[in-house]
Structure 1
Amino acid sequence: MVEHKFCRDCGDNRPASEFSADRRRRDGLSFYCKQHARKRVRTSRDQRLGPPKARHPRDVQLAPGQKWCPDCSTVKPLDDFVRNAGQASGRGPYCKPCHNARGRASRDKFGGSRTYHLQRRYGITAAEADAMLADQGGVCAICAKAPAAHVDHDHGTGAVRSLLCFNCNGGLGQFKDDPALLRVAARYVESHRAGQLVGPPPGQQRWPTD
């Protein structure tokens, strides 16, 4: 049994204990040491299948308070990573620059930040929103006066309804999109407005004088 063997990747003789057993070879040891054999297997697998889906630092020593970013292959302090309560470390898998770059790439993939936001939240594209705005003449679908800057949707079904101005969109939200409550509010305003038109009883002033 040999005590040492030459590893071509190391360029040096290594102890036999650093080689895996291989009965096919005359000396009973693998051609490369364990470290370089694993590295060659990983490289070959990555070339065939692409990088691993769950990426971990390879042959990287991490000190306490450090984390490895798989996109830039750099070890950085934990503070350089975005916060993520879903991770055991409390930080996301990517450093802040790489995290931001991935976000930009995702938005660009969907046609820019506006389309990305609209599709993610409402399921429509920027072109569809622009078409709705043109159909409404650029104004709110309720008051028909103020610019329509907000997408209104049914909070129960998620279906997009129309484009509204800030006040009308906020008003619907305050009344919880409840048609019955909105009708009660309308009758309330109408009844008080009718009373104001009739005026106070004879001998009474409408407003106090002091």
Structure 2
Amino acid sequence: MDTKFCRDCKCHKPVADFSKNARSRDGLAFYCREHLAERSLRSREARRTSPRVQRQAPKELVVPHGHKWCPDCGRVLPLDDFVRTVRSSSGHHAYCRPCHNARSKASRAKAGGSRTYHLSRRYGISAEEADLMLVDQGGVCAICAKAPAAHVDHDHDSGAVRSLLCFNCNGGLGQFRDDPALLRVAARYVESHRAGQLVGPPPGQQWWPTG
């Protein structure tokens, strides 16, 4: 990989222009160094000027057993009103369901919308990058070159994105476990049987092509 797509530049740049990021699939930051520095500066300024959110319930507030205080809306609600999670000691998220959903929606919008949010989490690419791939492929599957390319194909071992495929080709690779040797055997199998169907067995005999 010699280049990487910068989500702010909206184009591919040399990988040397990107910082390391162990949390991304390719080990590189989502933005080039220039835009990453700009985003970090804006983030620090926002934290400096934004009022601090109180994360713990006020000492004078009484929280009954089986209830929890939401720091966003300030209400004390039953635990059933909080999304469950194994990441906290209480077994529930810090925010009630409406506030949790609002925060999730805001996160998706900040990431560039729901489509970019999910593409980024699963494949490490943005919607703009997927759209550019689609244009480069002429809107069709990278394998059959006929059906619309609607699925992101990636290497299941490395996580690297390969191309965009149609539903059938993407599913076919999965059924063959992404094994090139197995795919070649399947191709020879189909070709040999197709050749046998064209030639046909000798009169009064039955044979099956091998290989």
TM-score normalized with structure 1 length:
0.69
Residue 63 of structure 1 aligns with which residue? 64
1:200–1:48 distance in 2 versus 1, CA, 3 Å: closer
Distance in 1 between residues matched to 2:104 and 2:193, nearest whole Å: 52
Residue 175 of structure 2 aligns with which residue? 174
**Deviation for aligned residue 1:160:** 1.1
**Deviation for aligned residue 1:183:** 0.6
Distance in 2 between residues matched to 1:49 and 1:140, nearest whole Å: 49
Distance in 2 between residues matched to 1:49 and 1:85, nearest whole Å: 29
1:90–1:190 distance in 2 versus 1, CA, 3 Å: same
Q: Number of matched residues? A: 158
Distance in 1 between residues matched to 2:147 and 2:127, nearest whole Å: 20
Residue 13 of structure 2 aligns with which residue? none
Structure 1 unaligned spans of 5+: 1-46
Residue 138 of structure 2 aligns with which residue? 137
Distance in 2 between residues matched to 1:62 and 1:127, nearest whole Å: 46
Residue 199 of structure 2 aligns with which residue? 198
Distance in 1 between residues matched to 2:133 and 2:77, nearest whole Å: 47
- Return the letter of the residue paired with 1:125: S
Q: Tell me if structure 1 keeps the 8 A contact 2:152–2:163.
A: yes
Residue 159 of structure 1 aligns with which residue? 160
Residue 82 of structure 1 aligns with which residue? 83
Q: Tell me if structure 1 keeps the 8 A contact 2:123–2:154.
A: yes
Aligned identity (percent) is 74
Q: Tell me if structure 1 keeps the 8 A contact 2:53–2:71.
A: no
Structure 2 unaligned spans of 5+: 1-48
Point out the structure with max Rg over C-alpha: 1
**Deviation for aligned residue 1:88:** 2.9
Distance in 2 between residues matched to 1:134 and 1:159, nearest whole Å: 19
Structure with higher RCO (Cα < 8 A, 6+ apart): 2
Q: Tell me if structure 1 keeps the 8 A contact 2:142–2:149.
A: yes
TM-score normalized with structure 2 length:
0.69
Alignment map for 1:1-210 (pairs within 5 Å): 50-51=52-53, 55-58=55-58, 59-203=60-204
**Deviation for aligned residue 1:125:** 1.3
Distance in 2 between residues matched to 1:201 and 1:61, nearest whole Å: 91
